[in-house]
Structure 1
């Protein structure tokens, strides 16, 4: 059974519309794709299709670039976040373990 994607994740927006929404040039958007910061899908005719999530990511990338953050650092951050979101059960387990450790450490020292 295929998992239903949120409307925010459906790749339906053209690069021209993304450019208008983000204020980025088409060239900048393609550059971010080359740097693997964004991954559009391709239509049967080869045109790029983006999602609303992609638009949000591009706006965040543009903000970070304005602050002087290099694309390599942005990519590292994106990969970290993607890795965490892939295994939410493991993340919950780590968070719970941290809470238990903090609780018992506090009781033991308090």
Structure 2
């Protein structure tokens, strides 16, 4: 597993690393922009990817974006990426079949 994906970092450390308050981070979680894991005791745990994501969110908020706009932008990006992957799979599948048939289909 990639070390950047491991959710080991507590919210206090995240605050120190990002300059964000616990309140801001919890707000982003409430708005479903960030998804920390929880320990058995309920402590939020974040990854380095989460920290990068929080910095990206904070930057967009400073630029005047609202949380719903950030969420919509993320959804659009994910849809676009998924569509690109599907197109690639289709092209790979049918491209191989067309190559096998040769130029005089």
| Normalised-by-shorter TM-score class | 0.7 to 0.9
**2:4 aligns with one of 8, 15, 18:** 8
1:61 aligns with 2:47: no
1:46 aligns with 2:42: yes
Deviation per residue, 1:40-84 (Å, 9 max, x gap): 000011100000000000000000000000100101122233345
Structure 1 distance, partners of 2:52, 2:73, is: 15
Larger Rg, first or second structure (1 or 2): 2
Structure 1: where are the runs of 5+ without partners? Answer: 97-110
Taking structure 2 as the reference length, the TM-score comes to: 0.76
Q: How many residues align?
A: 92
**2:33 aligns with one of 37, 58, 82:** 37
SS at match of 2:9: coil
Contact 1:42 1:48 in 2 (8 A): yes
SS at match of 1:49: strand
Aligned to 1:24: 20
Structure 1 distance, partners of 2:30, 2:2, is: 26
State which drifts further: 21-30 or 77-86.
77-86
Deviation per residue, 1:70-109 (Å, 9 max, x gap): 1001011222333455576315358x6xxxxxxxxxxxxx
Structure 2 distance, partners of 1:7, 1:84, is: 27
Aligned to 1:108: none
